[in-house]
Amino acid sequence: MVTISPLPIRVDVTTLPFETPQNLFSLLPPDSAIAWVRNDDGLVAYGEYARLEVKGPNRFVEASDWWREHVHTFRATDTVRTSGTGPLAFGSFAFSENETSVLIIPEVIIGRRGTKSWITTIGDQQMAINDPYLDTKNYTITWGEGSRSAVSWEGAVANAVLRIQNGELDKVVLARDVQAVASEPIDIRRLMAALAEAYPKTWVFAVDNLIGATPELLVRLTKGLVTSRVLAGTIRRSGNDERDLALAASLARSSKDLEEHDYAVRSVADALTPFCSSMNVNESPFVLHLANVMHLATDVNGVLADSLNTRDCLQLVRALHPTAAVCGTPTTSALDLISEIEGLNRGRYAGPVGWIDSDGDGEWGIALRCAEISEEDSRKIRLFAGCGIVAGSIPEEELAESQAKLLPMRDALES
């Protein structure tokens, strides 16, 4: 199924220098916000020039075709010329091909990268830039169960461990959700600002009511250079620096976490190899320290092969999704088991989220540490977390890990 907007004959796209405030999110309206920000640099956007909703096995190809058709209608003027200038499309793809994915071309895009900052507008209309917001309404949060109880989810983990030990598969990622209701409509800007302040090393994103702070870069394509950051294997921080150093060392030695991490790295490297003329994969993972948890992390870097005439970064996204970090190994067996025992509809959780430019370059993360605000009632929100299950997994420990992964969004909501 494809839902598309009609194409115009020709449209002007203008990128000009623009002085931005420190808090990029302050330029956004309280709803319909779009963002991709890390360490105070990145992109925020609003207004819908065009929108695509798509599902099915060819959703990435159809999204790429739709974007290229629009690019051919743009008459661009760009006086800044850096990564992220010019027309962009922001996307959030569902984990499953059976759920709806979305790609949005905003009317106004504001960006900052180092010393450069800019504004891009699409079309003839003059879009008003919002004054930086000063206050948002305070609200209280009421928490409820998700699609299944914590005890029930532990049972699913135990089932998965047994299936793995019986040789049906090597690893599976099981997700869980929790529901929350706020006393007032939830302000997306407030959530993003809280996430950015607490987790500056992550990519804070918002696309079509899906908001989060992901530490995992699925793929970046910049002028032929390919980068991916793989995270798998997690331990919760204690809050004591000396204790955390010891925990980091234990994570780096953990056979269970190293096994889980190796599956994820191999799935990414295997997916990217056909597209690259050369590739570099670190032999051993490093420990990435975030505010609430630590992860085993590996960077995968490659050079795009000229001979393949790769169309754009969405082609790489299609090859990578789903990685072992959010699905499991082997992929088909893991998907089948997820469908059988997970007990929830992931929607766009654990799917690719990011942006693409008119040259086909872009950045895409995996929608983790995230939540989705209800379209029907903006006071309601659903939070997601997932854990990689291998033969040595212990259900109680996996539940504790999922609670740690829910903390970023819980804290942002209650800030």
Contacts of 201 (CB under 8 A, 6+ apart): 38, 39, 215, 288, 290
What is the spatial distance between Cα 299 and Cα 116, in angstroms, rounded to a whole number? 27
Q: What Rg, from alpha-carbon coordinates, does the chain have?
A: 21
Which one is catalytic: 55, 62, 154, 216? 216
Which one is catalytic: 55, 62, 154, 171? 171
Beta bridge partners of 373: 381
Amino acid identity for residue 281 in this structure: V
What is the spatial distance between Cα 25 and Cα 103, in angstroms, rounded to a whole number? 20
Instruction: Classify each residue of 74-84 as buried b or exposed e, where b means 16 or more C-beta atoms within 10 Å of its C-beta.
Output: bebebebeebb
Residue 168 exposed, middle or buried by CB count within 10 Å (0-12, 13-18, 19+): middle
Which pairs with CB-CB distance under 8 Å and at least 24 residues apart come from 64-71?
A: 64/311, 64/312, 64/314, 64/315, 66/2, 66/4, 66/103, 67/103, 67/105, 67/312, 67/314, 67/356, 68/311, 68/312, 69/7, 70/7, 70/105, 71/358
Q: Which of 349, 415, 385 is nearest to 178 (CA)?
A: 385
Q: Is residue 55 annotated as a catalytic residue, yes or no?
A: no
What is the spatial distance between Cα 176 and Cα 342, in angstroms, rounded to a whole number? 8
| Residue 404 in tokens | 């740690």
Catalytic positions, please?
171, 216
